[in-house]
Amino acid sequence: MTVRVRFAPSPTGMFHVGGARSALQNWIYAKQQGGVFVLRIEDTDAARNKPEWTEGILSALDWIGISRGSYEGPYFQSENAGEHRAAATRLYESGRAYYCDCTREDVQARTGSQYQGYDGYHRDRGLGPGPGHALRFRTPDEGTTVVVDLIRGEPTFENKLIEDFVIARGDGSPVFLLANVVDDMTMGITHVIRAEEHLPNTPKQQLLWDALGVKPPIWAHVPVVVNEKRQKLSKRRDKVALEAYRDEGYLAGAMRNYLMLLGWAPSGDREIVPWSVIEDEFRLEEVNPSPAFFDEKKLRAFNGEYIRALPVAEFVDACQPWLTGTGTIAPPPWQPDEFDADAFAAVAPLAQTRIAVLSEIVPNVDFLFLATPLIDEAAWTKTMKDGSGELLDDAVAAFEVLESWDAESLKSTLEAVGAERGLKLGKTQAPVRVAVTGRTVGLPLFESLEVLGRDRTLTRMRAARLRLP
């Protein structure tokens, strides 16, 4: 039997990091088993679906390494509507489903406010199809439904506690439960690897598989992803869009690595590992069913490690979207003709050790490409104390006559300027840094001054001096 797994997102918004994790788990499992990964776009919610969301799904999958052309699909659920309706008809004609015209208010009035489900009122009343008649599945009165789950064992559900659920609406359109089952049957899906939130629907879907005469797939419900308060990640409350992390400058490799650790870990006392190790070692059976904490701080630390591991040339290439404002990245504060590729290449190794996401490259190097630095007024107020003006005067005078404009000479010269005032280097260089870069923190100062050059450095220091008494 060829293993066939599927990833079936809905194009109704940005690509959720939890969905990205499920996609990767399906992808790896299919690869390990020599199977097939199927992409199915569940687009039957026409009111909420947008073509750009579908393209967003495909682009996000590309980014995390599930590239177009390497999987089967994408298929679109809406294209299988005929099969959905045919399955509903078969279930009705075989007596496994019946029509019901009860409204929600009808059920409420008949059963009372505490009743949590439909009471089977129309089971044996012989109502036929018609406008406003929903089709309900006839759940067995006795016995249990056992779900074979690679992660959770064999959850068992009493059939008598499962209401006669709707499988087609009053307008004849099948609901998600039935459409999902029919699609999986049509596509020959053997394993369904998906989020834990779908587990309550699984016994209903398994009953549908049985009623349609097809062996159900093997299930694997991966743990829910939660925030620091142990609440399920929410689009309204949490930062969950994969595209947002991509555009902030997280590397695909770091994101892949981190997502795979949500509920699973490689062997040994390690977390940052090559993707080939994850592909070899990942086992669905080893996934922890407990909720998985999405720790953005930890992801950020991961990303910093991945950035530092890049060869410098690759780091320079990776920064280009933020330096040029390409694609979905906002343009930098400088004009295109102000950017100096050689200057950036000179400071790139310094910046690479100091940033955790690629978007941080802009505030670290903007002083190199702007005619005047962007002054952080809070930093100015904090740094430019009494005596800062005179210190800048002395530093300008010393830098003007400096024979060699290099980092070591700049450092020793400013150190001497500070020593004459009884100041250590840290106190001495702070006003110079703010005058030249506009900030109190950033790349190593003297290497930055070397790249910036004598004329621009002195011009900025003199301009800063004019602002001081």
Strands 218-222 and 72-76 come out as unpaired
**H or E stretch including 280?**
helix 275-281
In the chain, the amino acid numbered 91 is L
Strands 166-168 and 72-76 come out as unpaired
Reply yes or no on whether 235 is catalytic.
Answer: yes
**Dihedral sign computed on CA atoms, order 289, 294, 297, 302:** positive
In this structure, what are the phi and psi dihedrals at residue 120, rounded to the nearest 5 degrees?
75, 25
Cis? peptide before 74, omega within 30° of 0: yes
Instruction: List CB contacts of 148: < 8 A, sequence separation 6 or more.
Output: 154, 218, 219
DSSP three-state, residue 414: helix
Catalytic residue among 235, 239, 298, 385: 235
Q: How far apart are CA 6 and CA 389, in angstroms?
A: 67
Cβ(101)–Cβ(134) under 8 Å?
A: yes
Q: How far apart are CA 323 and CA 331, in angstroms?
A: 7
Cβ(374)–Cβ(414) under 8 Å?
A: no
Strands 156-158 and 144-146 come out as antiparallel
Q: How far apart are CA 301 and CA 272, in angstroms?
A: 10
Provide the b/e sequence for 191-200 (b: ≥16 CB within 10 Å).
bbbbbbeebe
**Dihedral sign computed on CA atoms, order 406, 411, 414, 419:** negative
In angstroms, the Cα distances linking 251 to 90, 130, 179, 255 are: 49, 54, 36, 6
Three-point CA angle 318, 324, 330, nearest 5°:
100
**Dihedral sign computed on CA atoms, order 68, 282, 235, 253:** negative
Provide the b/e sequence for 416-433 (b: ≥16 CB within 10 Å).
ebbeeeebebeebbbbbb
Cβ(28)–Cβ(269) under 8 Å?
A: no
**How long, in residues, is the chain?**
469
Cβ(279)–Cβ(32) under 8 Å?
A: yes
Q: Could you give the residue numbers annotated as active site?
A: 235
